[in-house]
Amino acid sequence: MSNMSSALEAMNKERIKVLYLDDEEGNLIAFRANFRRELEVFTASTAEQALEILERTPIPVVISDQRMPQVTGVDFLAQVKQRHPDTIRMLLTGYADIQAVIDAVNKGRIYAYITKPWDASDLLLRIQQAHEVFRLRVDRDRLLRRYEQVFATSGDPIVILDETGRIHDANPSAQRLVGLDRDAMLARSFNDLLSDPSSLRPALSGRLRGRSFRNVDLTLRNSAGDPIDGLLTVSYLGKTDDGHRSFQVIIKDITDRRAEEQRLRKLNSDLDRRVAVRTRQLLEALEDLGAFSYTVAHDLRSPLKNVLALCQLLQEHQPSTDIDGRELSSRIQRGAGRMLELVDDLLRFSQTNNRDLQRSDIRLRDLVQEVMDELPPAPHAPQLVNAVPPESVLHADAAMLKVVLVNLLSNAMKFTRQVEAPRIEVRLDQDDTGEVLRVRDNGVGFDSTGAKAVFGAFKRMHRADQFEGSGIGLAIVQRIVNKHGGEVWAESTVGKGTTIHLRMNGAVAERAALPFAS
């Protein structure tokens, strides 16, 4: 039995185990005094002691103070994530440590942060919630292992594919049914397996039950061309990493068992119902974990707004002769405003994937010109060149594509304000693999070794005192392009400018989606 399964059984009989790391002995004593009745508390004053405890004892919840002399809480939690990835990690910090929270999200993948000084009842609730997430993860992994066992050992052929028909996986039974190995199946479309692809849509008619098409009567052909009579169950699994909808197709071979059709349908329905329930539980657990970034941003907005309001009130009541006081309140206001911008950017980033694509034919030149016209005027007045051919049409989500263009052109305007004769050009070129949209500027540029990192969330290529911004704009661009099934990359040279290339994957746009994906 795995360590995680053993830990789950122990949790049902024992109190919640929690490890608290803090270099101040007084804080450790206070933590033990507050929670020794409700929790099984482990404490450590150094990262080495904490890691030794984790090696000896499986502990679901680990809490670390951020400010410590030898190692920060962020770095410690990053080590815990690497050595004990199943633990739920939490960070103790202050509101001013926004960078620590961001680092903890990126490096330590923390579940939550707690502000200091902490409230005992609130912290206990957070620990209990973290423990529940740990249990959900254990259940999720167990369900996933069971599903993998069902997938690999099922006598029924099972195929995993996306909305375009591209096959992502096929179990051994499916490979035997059609007479192809796994690699050969992954190189084909699902339509290639059908005796008559045009029969798929009529066969699906009236078969939708909830999120699944059940008992779809279709004829397939194996590698030798022989027909195979089958009953198919198509279930929606969720989104793939590249944004496509994913489906599970369970095939019942009824070529020699037409007389037992009713019994086979019932067995198939029962199996599908059990798999759908387990899959839904897995997806719900994953969605809960994905809500962390939204929670962080949402919880930070209210105190930041309060800080801004208090600063404004303070400035209104300060005498004009109090120069030092007014300067101090102004600095606080600017810092709080900067933090609020970061929070809003984090919210926008976390919500990028919530909207489904609504593709349509877009006159690209008109959209580019619209964005250019709506840009606020800049003091350095860069030359904006729309070099997109008038007849160019792109099949994409118009609203999302506009967000991409606004982010790219705003970036280009920002990074050209220190150069003479600033120029920004948008063009659509044709290469060997299709059309590529390019946004080129002659601004300050950046070191090309960071061309991939520039699309990471909160990744900045310049210091904050040189250029404003949170580093989220290009991350949103990449997420939208990925959602379209395309790709985006950057080329840049210090002092000569930057070019952002976008391929929106027109080939995928032209390929018709399967009927059950519409």
pLDDT in 10s for each residue of the chain, 518 residues: 445 555 445 444 568 999 999 998 999 999 999 998 999 999 999 999 999 999 999 999 999 988 888 888 888 988 998 899 889 988 887 655 666 566 656 665 778 778 888 889 989 998 999 899 899 888 888 888 888 888 888 888 999 999 888 999 999 999 998 999 999 999 989 989 888 888 888 888 888 888 888 888 888 888 898 888 888 899 988 887 778 888 999 988 878 775 565 566 677 788 888 888 877 776 665 455 445 555 655 666 677 777 777 777 777 777 777 777 777 877 777 777 666 666 665 565 555 556 677 888 999 999 999 989 988 888 888 899 999 999 889 898 888 888 889 888 888 888 888 888 899 999 999 887 788 999 999 988 887 776 676 776 655 655 655 666 666 778 888 888 888 888 889 888 888 889 999 988 753 334 455 666 65
CB 91 within 8 A of CB 123: no
> pLDDT value at position 378?
83
Same domain, 141 and 198: no
Q: What is the DSSP letter of 240?
A: -
The pLDDT of residue 312? 75
284: in domain: no
Which residues on neighbouring strands pair with residue 115, listed in sequence order? Answer: 93
Does residue 160 sit in the same domain as residue 258?
yes
Instruction: Using CB atoms within 10 Å of the CB of residue 273, give its burial: 0 to 12 exposed, 13 to 18 middle, 19+ buried.
Output: middle
Q: Specify the pLDDT at position 467.
A: 64
Q: Is the bond preceding residue 117 a cis peptide, omega within 30 degrees?
A: yes
Pairing type for strands 359-363 and 383-386 reads unpaired
Radius of gyration of the chain from its Cα atoms, rounded to whole angstroms = 28
Q: Contact, 19 vs 62, CB < 8 A?
A: yes
Q: For residue 378, give the amino acid letter.
A: A
In a domain, 340, yes or no: yes
User: Do 341 and 260 belong together in one domain?
Assistant: no
Q: Same structural domain for residues 488 and 504?
A: yes
The answer to whether 8 touches 138, Cβ cutoff 8 Å, is yes
Domain co-membership, 389 together with 346: no
Residue 282 belongs to a domain: no
Tokens 């705003």 — which residue? 410
* Same domain, yes or no: 145 and 158: no
**Residue 110 and residue 52 share a domain:** yes
DSSP structure string for 20-74: EE-S-HHHHHHHHHHHTTTEEEEEESSHHHHHHHHHHS--SEEEEES--SSS-HH
End-of-domain residue from the set 350, 373, 392: 350
Q: Examine residue 206 and state whether it is found in any structural domain, yes or no.
A: yes
What are φ and ψ of residue 287, in 5° steps? -65, -35
Same domain, yes or no: 38 and 10: yes
Six-digit token string for 14: 């024992």
Same domain, 494 and 438: yes
Query: The domain that contains 120 carries what CATH number?
Result: 3.40.50.2300
Ranges of beta strands (E only) in 183-269 are 208-209, 212-221, 227-239, 245-253
**DSSP letters spanning 113-130:** EEESSPPHHHHHHHHHHH
Q: What is the pLDDT of residue 460?
A: 60
* 512 HSE (CA, 13 A, CB side): 8
How many whole angstroms separate alpha carbon 195 and alpha carbon 344? 52
Which CATH number characterizes residue 363's domain?
Answer: 3.30.565.10
Angle in degrees, CA 223, 225, 229, rounded to 5? 100
Q: How much is the pLDDT for 286? A: 45
pTM above 0.85, yes or no: no
Domains: count for the chain: 4
Domain assignment present for residue 515? The answer is no
Helices (H), 98-220: 98-103, 120-153, 172-178, 182-186, 200-204
Which of 435, 449, 451 minimizes the C-alpha distance to 508?
435
Same domain, 122 and 186: no
Is residue 240 exposed (0-12), middle (13-18) or buried (19+ Cβ within 10 Å)?
middle
208 domain-assigned: yes
Q: Tell how far CA 329 is from the center of its chain.
A: 37
Token pair for residue 376? 């606020």
* Per-residue model confidence as pLDDT tens digits over 101-141: 666 566 657 787 788 888 899 899 989 998 998 998 888 88
Domain boundary among 125, 149, 173: 149
505 and 360 within one domain = yes
Helix (H, G, I), strand (E, B) or coil at 100: helix
- Kindly state the tokens that stand for 284: 């719900």
Short-list 394, 383, 379, CA closest to 423 = 383
pLDDT digits (tens, 9 = 90+) for 456-491: 665 565 565 566 666 677 888 888 888 888 888 988
**E strands present in 323-369:** 359-363
Q: Is residue 462 part of a domain?
A: yes
CB atoms under 10 Å from CB of 13, counted, come to 6
Is there a contact between 112 and 101 (Cβ–Cβ < 8 Å)?
Answer: no
Contacts of 234 (CB under 8 A, 6+ apart): 204, 212, 213, 216, 247, 248, 249, 516
Last residue of one domain, picked from the residues 149, 170, 195: 149
Same domain? For 254 and 399 the reply is no
Residue 92 maps to a domain: yes
CA distance linking residue 148 with residue 358, whole number of Å: 34
> What residues make up the domain containing 161?
154-276
